[in-house]
Amino acid sequence: METKLMRRLGALSFALALGLMPAHAQLGNLVKTVKSKAEKVVKEVSDDVKNQLDRTPSQAKGAVDQAQKQTPTPDGGDPLTIMRQVQIGELTPDSFYAQARQRDNGGALDQTLDTQAQYETFAYYLLRLKKAVEQRDFETMAWSDDNKAALYLMQLMNNPKREQVRGFRFDAWALEYQKVTAAVDRILLAPFNGSVTRSLLSGEELLRRLTTYLQTPGLSMNMKKYYLFQAVKRLSNDLVSGSLQDSNPQVQTIVASLKEIYASMDQEYRSIYPEPRTLEEMKNEQQQRTNAQIKKIQDEARERRERVHPMRKAGKMNRPDMLAHYERIMRRVWSKDHIVKMLIVSDDWSNGTSSKGESYRVVNGLVIVKTKDGRYQALPCSMGEKWLPQANRYSGHYEYFGVSDPFYIDYR
């Protein structure tokens, strides 16, 4: 799968966005208002999608079963048995997915799709994930199609045209995604979160169980990706909330183990999904991002200040009488500067208001000065004629009105 999209969004910002999502990248806190009832589509799913889904039981399921059976959990029993016993609510009928199309795009994440195609592709992958839940295909549930459903939903979230496709409502599809992924998490996390024995586990204990399971010999890559993502998300949340501390030796051991597992993942995974970090590392990373943003703003401001602009043309109001008023006022204001030229750039008066709320008709111009380093700088200065409401006329004389940010100019 290509990672160009992630590079464009920024791997870090994308990873943080995923890290803020509830279990298995749910979007309950990211959609604006999710309706309580999803819209049902009367059309049946196309035969080609149905057939494809029915033909796709996990080929690696046997290997996953064997690996899971080798590792008993603190709740008793092997994880696979526990997962199969978990009860979930009824999932949405297939008719909701009637507009899904078989768009696997050769297995690659396609960044060139129009909005409707994005919806159809997202629906295709979400339907595959729902089918995996119904069939208890744990391998596919853990990391279905390289998490394509989440990635295409992310594309739609960043698409301003997502509400303009007939037959697709983003809120309804985000709710469906949340419903399916909630079922995934309920099943796959059951052996580790205490739900089987109805016991309340500390964050440290949950992380210890997940870390131990991640070190199981023969654990499939899909399972590793899922449980590593869950562990990193829980670790980050608990450190930020204060329920775990960097100084805890057990937490330090867990972080070190998760870092080692993360380092063994492929480059694509590491370019998209967040790395295990201590709270201090997260704070340092945040400070680095803040410093980088400040530097970028400062660099842009410096570039604007240093940029040399073409010489401006005189406006229609650059008449001798108006220019005489302008020069008289500006020479008094800028008496200490080396003025080389003044000109009016306005073609007509513009309306202005003083800090006291008084109305003026304003004339804009440039005062060009020579700086100590030999360059020429334009000071955008204006003069104004005050409106006298009681007399229902302007005052008849101009005064200094204001100045804007100076800029360098190509004066010859």
Three-state SS sequence of the chain:
CCCHHHHHHCHHHHHHHHHCCCHHHCCCCCCCCCCCCCCCCCCCCCHHHHHHHHCCCCCCHHHHHHHHHCCCCCCCCCHHHHHHHCCCCCCCCHHHHCCCCCCCHHHCCCCCCCHHHHHHHHHHHHHHHHHHHHCCCHHHHHCHHHHHHHHHHHHHHCCCCCCCCCCCCHHHHHHHHHHHHHHHHHHHCCCCCCCCCCCCCCHHHHHHHHHHHHCCCCCCHHHHHHHHHHHHHHHHHHHHHCCCCCCCHHHHHHHHHHHHHHHCCCHHHHHHCCCCCCHHHHHHHHHHHHHHHHHHHHHHHHHHHHCEECCCCCCCCCCHHHHHHHHHHHHHHCCCCCEEEEEECCCCCEEEECCCCCEEEEEEEEEEEECCCCCEEEEEEEEEEEEECCCCEEEEEEEEEEECCCEEECCC
In the predicted structure, residue 45 carries a pLDDT above the cut 60: no
What domain range includes position 342?
A: 320-409
In the predicted structure, residue 300 carries a pLDDT above the cut 60: yes
* 110 shares a domain with 45: yes
* 366 shares a domain with 221: no
Pick from 238, 259, 275: which residue ends a domain?
A: 275
Q: 289 in a domain, yes or no?
A: no
* 55 shares a domain with 200: yes
In the predicted structure, residue 310 carries a pLDDT above the cut 90: yes
Q: 299 in a domain, yes or no?
A: no
Sign of the four-CA dihedral 335, 336, 337, 339 = positive
Verdict on whether the full-model pTM lies above 0.75: no
Return mean pLDDT, the chain: 82
Q: How many domains does the chain have?
A: 2
* 333 shares a domain with 263: no
Pick from 238, 256, 275: which residue ends a domain?
A: 275
Q: Rounded to whole angstroms, what are the CA distances from 298 to 287, 294, 303, 305, 382?
A: 16, 6, 8, 10, 27
Q: 285 in a domain, yes or no?
A: no
The one-letter code for the residue type at 354 is S
Mean pLDDT on 245-270: 94
Check residues 53 and 250 and name the one with the higher pLDDT.
Answer: 250
Q: 306 in a domain, yes or no?
A: no
Check residues 24 and 238 and name the one with the higher pLDDT.
Answer: 238
The whole-angstrom separation of Cα 137 and Cα 199 is 27
pLDDT digits (tens, 9 = 90+) for 214-238: 999 999 999 999 999 999 999 999 9
In the predicted structure, residue 369 carries a pLDDT above the cut 70: yes
Q: 141 in a domain, yes or no?
A: yes
Q: 309 in a domain, yes or no?
A: no
* 245 shares a domain with 145: yes
CB-CB neighbours of 67 under 10 Å: 20
* 229 shares a domain with 331: no
The pair of structure tokens assigned to 307 is: 């940029």
* 373 shares a domain with 256: no
CA 18 to chain centre: 9
* 358 shares a domain with 256: no
Angle at 44 between CA 39 and CA 50, to 5 degrees: 115
Q: 325 in a domain, yes or no?
A: yes
Q: 300 in a domain, yes or no?
A: no
Contacts of 293 (CB under 8 A, 6+ apart): none
* 350 shares a domain with 225: no
pLDDT digits (tens, 9 = 90+) for 138-154: 999 999 888 889 999 99
Q: CB of 350 within 8 A of CB of 380?
A: no
* 191 shares a domain with 120: yes
Mean pLDDT on 190-211: 84
* 91 shares a domain with 17: yes
> In the prediction, which pLDDT does 318 show?
97
